[in-house]
Amino acid sequence: MEFGPVLIALGVLFLVGLAADAIGERTWLPRVTLLLICGIAAGGAGLDVIPADLSAFYDILSVTALTMVAFLLGNALTGETLRRHGRAILSISIMVVLATVALVATGLWLMGVPAPVALLLGAIATATDPAATQDALRQSGARGAFPNLLRGIVAVDDAWGVLAFALAVVVAGGIAGGADIAHLGRALWEIGGALGLGLLVGLPAAHLTGRLAPGEPQLTEALGVVFLTAGLALVADVSFLLAGMAAGAVIANRAHHHERAFHEIEHVQWPFMILFFVLAGASLDPARIATFGLIGAAYVVLRIGGRLAGGWIGGTLAGTPAAHRPWYGVALLPQAGVAVGMALIAAREFPDHADLILGLTVATTVIFEVIGPLATLLAARRVGTGDG
């Protein structure tokens, strides 16, 4: 490995992150979107100046960055938050998933996409990008019920998405003549195993961390628990996102001697996020969008419609403020790695349709990774900071 070019690239990327911070503070542009655009420009679809040795670190960077995000989202699931917003979190997250699957699958099927493929694409559309959503909320500076509720929704909706996808694979296999109930068991293990792992790590961590420096965990303690959780999740082949979220929630609720559980993670998270989003952008190819034409455009429109409808219906059922209901779906538009992971599984199970499933998902991810954080930032700022 040539370390010189890698170190130069790292220095440039961190300075790009600093510029994204400055631009984001002075405009309505989310820093995440700016970093993704920089990544697209610097990657293979643009100038192709990112060293291959640095790109090789993308997988470990993504796991690390997303596990940190999951811990912070888990910290939002305190007893107080669940008492105040638990009904709304469950109602909105479930309805967003159901509405997205129904609208995307039905719309694509009516356009001539085979029913099994349309159903799979509908399930893939339920995936969100917790990192982009969390960062856009932080950048907005919004406080109160709306952003707190969104953090709770983002913390749990990928669990519903994974379960919906597993059911979709089983049903799609039945329609195509090859149903395999093992996919449902695999999803239950991914969810249940991750929650169990989070509990296994979170309980002792809640008791042990923050003892050396009373009231605050040290950075090394926080990073140790993050890396341990991510590594164990990968070894056990369960969701590191859900494991991190569960561990963060357990620590936030059990570590009463902390002023704020894993506060130090926020201080070190952004450098990881810079590298993660720039390298994610570098891996995207905007030119692929044009190859899917009307079907790709329909997927984008239908997914947006499903998020909007699900957010409004879920908010209505939960009795949230009427002024907030149109904005839940807008704030939940970001989509990224989980969707691509689902698409890879679906492509393997239905190889005859692999090009459509994987290509469409990757292509539309470019759109939602760019416009999604902007939509989240817009929603948070339009609802305001004084929403209780």
Distance, CA of 83 to CA of 80 (rounded, Å): 5
Q: What are the structure tokens assigned to 6, written together? A: 């890698």
Q: Look up residue 210 and give its amino acid.
A: G
Q: Which long-range contacts (CB under 8 A, 24 or more apart) does 266-272 make?
A: 266/72, 267/219, 268/68, 268/219, 268/222, 268/223, 269/65, 269/68, 269/69, 269/72, 270/17, 271/14, 271/17, 272/61, 272/64, 272/65, 272/68
Q: Look up residue 70 and give its amino acid.
A: A
| Under 8 Å between Cβ of 46 and 286 | no
Asked whether residue 260 carries a pLDDT value surpassing 70, the answer given is no
Distance, CA of 342 to CA of 161 (rounded, Å): 10
pTM: 0.69
pLDDT grade, residue 388 (50/70/90)? very low
Distance, CA of 226 to CA of 216 (rounded, Å): 16
Residues 182-229 pLDDT 10s? 666 776 787 788 889 999 998 888 877 766 655 555 677 778 888 999
* Percent of residues in the chain assigned helix, strand, coil, to nearest 5: 80, 0, 20
How many CB atoms are located within 10 Å of the residue 312 CB? 22
Asked whether residue 280 carries a pLDDT value surpassing 60, the answer given is yes
Q: According to the model, what pLDDT value does residue 303 have? A: 95
Q: According to the model, what pLDDT value does residue 51 have? A: 78
Calculate what percentage of the chain has a pLDDT beyond 90.
Answer: 19
Q: According to the model, what pLDDT value does residue 344 have? A: 67
Identify the CA nearest to 370 among candidates 26, 22, 12, 38. 38
Identify the CA nearest to 105 among candidates 121, 124, 93. 121
Residue tagged 């790590």 (tokens): 201
Q: What are the structure tokens assigned to 344, written together? A: 């890879």
Distance, CA of 36 to CA of 282 (rounded, Å): 8
Q: What are the structure tokens assigned to 213, written together? A: 């420096």
- CA distance from start to end of the chain: 53
Identify the CA nearest to 372 among candidates 159, 118, 111, 137. 137
How many CB atoms are located within 10 Å of the residue 295 CB? 19
pLDDT grade, residue 307 (50/70/90)? very high
Residues 288-300 pLDDT 10s? 666 677 888 999 9
Residue tagged 């429109």 (tokens): 301
Distance, CA of 46 to CA of 224 (rounded, Å): 37
Under the phi-then-psi rule, with left for phi > 0, alpha for psi from -120 to 50, and beta for the rest, what region is 99? alpha
Decide yes or no: CATH 1.20.1530.20 for domain 3-383.
Answer: yes
Rounded to the nearest angstrom, the gap between the alpha carbon of residue 108 and the centroid of all alpha carbons in its chain is 24
